Each structure stands twice: as C-alpha cells, then as structure tokens.
Amino acid sequence: MAGMTVVVVGAGVAGLACARALAGAGVPVRVLERGRVPGGRLASKRFDGRPADIGAAYLTVDDERFAAVVRRWHAAGLAREWTDTMLAFPGGPPAEPRTGPVRWAAPGGLRSLAEDLAQGLDVRLGHTVARVGPGPVVDGEPADAVVLAMPGPQAARLLEPGGPVAGAAAAQTWHPVLSAVLRYPARDWAPFAGAFVNDHPVLATVCDDGDRRGDGAPVLVAHTTGAVAAAHLTDPAAAGPLIEDAVRDLLGLGAPAQLVHVHRWTYAQPDPGDGGHLLDDTLVGLAGDAFGRPRVQTAWLSGHTLGGELARRLAAG
C-alpha cells in the first residue's frame, strides 16, 4: 500500500475510529479537522480548570467491539461506570427512577476519550476543507480515498451534487440542541445522576456533572429541546436565563447559578438510520451516528467498519 493516502475529514469519534482502523491495517491516513481540538460532539469545555461535558452526555455499550475499547479506557482510568438509573420527568416534577443500561462517563471529560483515539494519528487541527470532488480530490489535491465523518448536511455542502454519497448525506435529518453548563454555589438539589425530561417546553435532559465526573462539583448540564435550540441558533447565550429558570423550577433550586454557559449544536441529533456507513465506487465514504441509533457507540462502529472496508478495497486494488 506504499504511496496510498486516505483523507478523513472530521476528527470526531467516527473519523478517529475510521483512521485508527486504517492505520491498524497499514494504510497511511491523514485526519483533517477544522476545530482546534479533536472530539466533535464528544466535547468538553473547561471552566476554571474543570471540564464539563457539553456534547454527548455519556456512553452506553452493547457491542463487543466497542466494549473492548471502553474496557481499555476503563483500565487506563479514562472512563468510569457512572449509573444505570436515570430519573424520568413527565414534563415536570415529580420524577420516577428508571433503570436501564450502564452509562459510562469520563473523569477528565468525554473529550479525553477522543484525544486518546487521536494518539499516534496524523491529525491536523484548524484545517477547513472547502470541497471534495471526484477522483477523489480534496481541495484540489488527489487522494486514494476520502471519508467524510460529519453530519450529512455538512458533508453535502462539500460534495458535488448527484453522487450517491452526496444524496445520502443531503437526505439525513438533523435537529439542533443547546447545552447549558450551570454552576452553583453549592449542591442545592436532591441526589440524582441524570434525568430525561419528557414533554417539557424547554428541557430534554439534565445531568449532575459533579456526579457524572465523580468530583461532586455543584455543576449541572442541561440540554434543550430542538424547538428551543432552533429559536436561539443566532444568539444561543440569550437562551441562558430561560434554561436556568427551567432547571430551577424542575429541581426546586434556591440560589441562582453563578455561571451559565450556553453552547450551540446546529447538528446535534440525527433521525435514526441504518446501513452502518456508505462507501461508493470512487472510494468516497460517509460515516457517523446517523447510521443507526444516535449514540457514541454508533459513531465509533460506523467509522471502524468503514475503515475496515476501505482497507480491504485498497488492498484488493
């Protein structure tokens, strides 16, 4: 495979898993990421030195291939079993506990898991790709194959229309979300790990980030409904008071938050799909969590299996 180069656009979980599968098969691979850090929606932001998860809330595992990765993270101290019980609010209090799969969290923030996946790979941060053309060609430079590991609407803007990957990318439906980090003077709420908030006008989930991280910090992270996010995409910070008030009413809080930070995710939640990934005859591929239930595991499996298929096709000539 001497001289081959695969370009992966996007250093989220899917892109990094794809790149690792290719590198493990001996295929030279380069990852281009427009952001300053890897991770995509496996995102954490530091406030006074402490990370808070502002993207995915946790990991769940039911596939042995991904379980092997999570076990390695656990052994390295990067991941911890968090909880199997979440509260369910039927639009507001009172809540009922619901037991389900074990949710995994990361003491150093979920982005630390993406940073681990990126170790040893050629990841170029701050690199914006403008166009992927037939050949394939990335911004005028030829490549042996290209993988777009990103939400479909973003991938469709990079591709020439008419091809199978462009069509599949454009057909994906995604919904926005705002995530709000709320830091309080003290833990002024009854103990809980996380909560699903059903049929609420503002909130979709609320997680105790101190419980999730294991340090007991008085920090909550709330995710909004798609409707609230869509109404505040141009000015997400303006939704801060609305989210804070909704969390206060839901949990019966007294003191106001000392810090409210709102992050906008224009493409946060895809409608569930299938197929695992897409790879056309020109070796342009598409991967991500839209190829299944929208979970971190889905994104990893999508990239991992696409990387394996691509390595086999390249080896076959």
> pLDDT class for 2, splitting at 50, 70, 90?
very low
The distance from CA 68 to its chain's CA centroid, rounded to whole angstroms, is 19
**Structure tokens belonging to residue 116:** 């681990």
CATH 3.40.1500.10 for domain 57-109+175-266, yes or no, is: no
Other Cβ atoms less than 10 A from the Cβ of 187: the count is 15
For residue 117, pLDDT beyond 80: yes
Q: Please report the pLDDT score of residue 4 as a whole number.
A: 60
Per residue in 137-160, is it b (16+ CB within 10 Å) or e — as a string? Answer: ebeeeebbbbbbbbbbbbbbebbe
Peptide bond into 294 cis (omega under 30): no
Q: Do 1-52+110-174+278-317 and 57-109+175-266 come out as alike in CATH topology?
A: no
Residue 94 preceded by cis peptide, ω within 30: yes
* Rounded distance between C-alpha atoms, residue 124 and residue 5, angstroms: 14
Give the pLDDT band of residue 153 (cuts 50, 70, 90): very high
Whether pLDDT at 190 is above 90: yes
| Per-domain residue ranges of the chain | 1-52+110-174+278-317, 57-109+175-266
Q: What is the Cα–Cα distance from 35 to 27, expressed in whole angstroms?
A: 24
The CATH number of the structural domain formed by 1-52+110-174+278-317 is: 3.50.50.60
Q: Tell me the HSE value of 141 on the side-chain side, using a 13 A CA sphere.
A: 9
